Structures are given as structure tokens and as C-alpha cells.
Amino acid sequence: MNPSFDLRTRVAIVTGGNGGIGFGMALGLAHSGATVVVVGRNATKNANAIAELRAANPDADPCALTADVTQERDCTALVERTLERYGRVDVLVNNAGTNLRKPPQDYSLDEWRMLIDTNLTSAFLCSKAVHAPMAAAGRGKIVNIGSMTSIFGASFAAPYSASKGGIVQFTKATAVAWARDNIQVNAVLPGWIDTELTQQARKDVEGLNERVVARTPAGRWGLPQDFAGIAVFLASAASDFITGAAIPVDGGYSSQL
Ligand code: NDP
């Protein structure tokens, strides 16, 4: 294994790691040797993900934690439990997220808050919880998941877009704040990816499937496994001088007018 990408001594927390993009990243990390802690609310999805992660890396001891990342006590507890079990936390992937699609004026305040809490406040809470142990260890890697709505306006996703724009600026702020702690913080901006989240979108938004294929230079939807490589790169020593970046993984979507 190229030593720059070797994660065999690393412990990585992946929120929303039990499915979709998060599971694609978790599997990539496991294949490079990492011990993965999967976080999600659904215990059945968590158990299925752990079974696959064990098969991918029989030398590691992955585990799942049932937690709601909108709750501060859950975010603190998931880091504490990781430290109790493994004695370290090297990587945090803030991936958990959700969406509700409607015109901006139709959201209730509760819906707005739920979306901001799930997609943005969760990244703050989990990052805050890992900062002290990472700083004490003298290094750390945080990967936040943005979106094409971090760049473009989506008429049907105002709070989601606000949360994902916020993710990019939160990434830059924590990257510069924690650079001297040797903690690198970067964002990944997925294009349109085939997951549970977008299977619902395809039902909600007429013609979406055709528009995505036509608008994406690669001519296809992304897949969860398209995120394995960027996860390993941003979690490993290979990216030690990269911080505050927002990297599209989008089949060229954001490069095309
Ligand atoms: P999925 O719906 O497939 O996965 C979402 C994950 O987040 C699940 O594992 C879910 O687990 C977890 N999750 C949601 N809410 C919570 C919560 N409150 N507490 C803990 N876990 C939670 O979606 P994707 O894989 O598509 O999305 C992953 C990330 O990628 C999100 O941040 C999304 O915004 C982003 N993204 C996705 C794109 C796409 O095209 N799919 C495009 C751009 C960005 P559980 O249900 O067990 O809680």
C-alpha cells in the first residue's frame, strides 16, 4: 500500500455512514485499512453497514453508534464512545444530511430548523466534539459534505442550499482556526448521486432524471462508490497540505456553463 494513503492505524467516524454517499466513503476508508465508526439513527441500517465493513476489512473492528446528530448530547456521546472503545479519533466525516423540496415560502420554521440542524449544525457539533482529542493527538482530518447547492441556487431547496452554502464557509473557518493544530478541514461537493435521498427527489421533481443526465458532462448519475477515493485522500497523509478546500465530485457538473 502507498504509505501516503495507508489508514491502517486510523479511526474514522462517518455520520450517515450506514447508506448512500456516507457508506461509499466508509467502505473506501475500510478498504484502506481504517477502523470505521458508522453513525445513524436506524439500527438495522447500521447493522447491515457494519457487516459489509467487516467483510471489506476483516483486520479492523468497525462499530455502529445509534445517534441523532441534531442533538448536542448525541454528538458529544458518539465521540466519547469512540475514544472509550479505540482510544483515538483521527477522522471525522460530517455526511449526515436530508432535504425537503418545496418553494421557499412554503417551509415552516420547524422544517427550516430541522434542515439547518441536520445538515449544518450537526457538522458544528461533531467538529466541536472532536477538536480537543484531535488537537491533543497533534493531528486530525475533518471532511464536510456540501452539495452543488453550495454553489448554485435551487428553487426547490432554499434551507438545504443555505445549509450547504454554510458548510463551505464553516469548512474554511475551521480550516484556518485549526491549521496550527495540524487538523485539516475540507469539503466535498457531490453532484447528483443515486441514493435514497435522490430516489425521492426523482419522484418529487418531474423530469429530474433526464435533466441530470443531460446536464452532467459524464452523462450519468454519480454512485456512492465514486466517493471512496476522495474519502481516502482527504483522510490520509496524502492531503496534509490541503485545508479549507471545497472539492466537487460531480462528473463535471460545476465546470459546465
Ligand atoms: P441518504 O439519505 O442515502 O443518507 C443520509 C444518511 O444520513 C443516512 O445514513 C441517515 O441515516 C443519516 N442521517 C440523516 N439524518 C440524520 C440524523 N439526524 N442523525 C444521524 N444520521 C442521520 O443520502 P445521501 O447519501 O444522498 O446524502 C449524504 C450526504 O450527501 C448528505 O449530506 C446530502 O445532503 C449530501 N448530498 C447528496 C447528494 C445526492 O445527490 N445524493 C448531492 C449533494 C449532497 P439514518 O436514516 O439511519 O439516520
List the residue whose alpha carbon is closest to atom 17 of ligand 1. Answer: 68
With cut-offs at 50, 70 and 90, classify the pLDDT of residue 201: confident
CATH number at residue 65: 3.40.50.720
pTM: 0.98
Cα distances from 124 to residues 58, 99, 157, in angstroms, run 32, 18, 21
Among the ranges given (53-62, 72-81, 163-172, 220-229), the one the predictor scored with the smallest mean pLDDT? 53-62
- In three-state secondary structure terms, 212 is helix
pLDDT tens, position by position, 84-113: 999 999 999 999 999 999 999 999 999 999
pLDDT computed for residue 187 by the predictor = 99
Domain contains 255: no
Domain contains 207: no
- Counting ligand 1 atoms within 8 A of each CB, the residue from 13, 21, 156 with the most, and so the one to mutate, is 21
- Domains in the chain, number: 1
Domain contains 210: no
Domain contains 230: yes
pLDDT over 90 at 115, yes or no: yes
With cut-offs at 50, 70 and 90, classify the pLDDT of residue 135: very high
CA 146 to ligand 1: nearest atom:
44
Give 1 Cα–ligand 1 centroid separation in angstroms.
30
- One-letter amino acid for residue 209 of the chain: N
Domain contains 254: no
Domain contains 219: no
pLDDT tens, position by position, 215-233: 999 999 999 999 999 999 9
CA dihedral 16, 18, 19, 25 (to 10 degrees): 70
- Counting ligand 1 atoms within 8 A of each CB, the residue from 41, 125, 254 with the most, and so the one to mutate, is 41
CA 18 to ligand 1: nearest atom:
9
